[in-house]
Amino acid sequence: MVCSGAAVNRRQQAILKAGWHSAMAQGHGLSVLSRAYALTKKEKYLKAANKALELFKTPASEGGVLNRLFDHDWYEEYPTTPGTFVVNGFMYALIGLYDMSQLGAGDTRYADELFKTGLRSLKTFLPLYDTGSGSLYDLRHLGIWSARISRDGIITLYISTFSSGSITLMATRSLTR
């Protein structure tokens, strides 16, 4: 999944040139491709999903989506260097990796390894996004999300899903395999 056009990250004044990859888009793509393969068993979907995994091991500085934060892997929604560590894009990436890890075909072991590694990172850093009165969008810019754009409700939903919902139950089982 390649994002077309240029996006400007005004907070960091970084320009992401056309062709940049997003872990969030990769996660969405992995979910769709995993479901398409599960329904049809067509190899083209599995091959595309396998290829998408390559970006998770490629550093953001080299065109991938991987950054490191205190020796933990982080899959970047906006792959800048230094990283921005946007939490919602990271979570979408984890959902896609989880979906692929459940296929039982292709590089499911690698998808499962990436998922487990990412989940450990999320468990380590998720408390940093909670300000007590809102949530942070990323770890590079310490400003609380504006209520007028309704993102606090969205991030609360994501955190609830990972903290007490079905994703945590699946993730816990996955970590103990």
Q: Which residues constitute the domain of residue 123?
A: 17-174
What pLDDT does residue 44 have? 97
Asked if the model's pLDDT at residue 158 lies above 60, the reply is no
Which of 1-10, 61-70, 98-107 is modeled with the greatest confidence?
61-70
- Number of domains observed in the structure of the chain: 1
Look at residue 122 and tell me if it is in a domain. yes
Query: Which residue is listed with tokens 């899903």?
Result: 161
For 58-102, write each residue's pLDDT tens digit.
999 999 999 999 999 999 999 998 899 999 899 999 999 999 999
Mean pLDDT of the chain: 79
Look at residue 144 and tell me if it is in a domain. yes
Asked if the model's pLDDT at residue 4 lies above 90, the reply is no
Look at residue 24 and tell me if it is in a domain. yes
What pLDDT does residue 102 have? 92
Look at residue 164 and tell me if it is in a domain. yes
Look at residue 145 and tell me if it is in a domain. yes
Question: Nearest 10 degrees: CA dihedral of 166, 168, 173, 177?
Answer: 140
More confident residue, 171 or 141: 141
Tell me the pTM.
0.76
Look at residue 53 and tell me if it is in a domain. yes
What pLDDT does residue 143 have? 64
For residues 105 and 47, the answer to whether their CB atoms sit within 8 Å is no
For 122-131, write each residue's pLDDT tens digit.
989 988 888 7
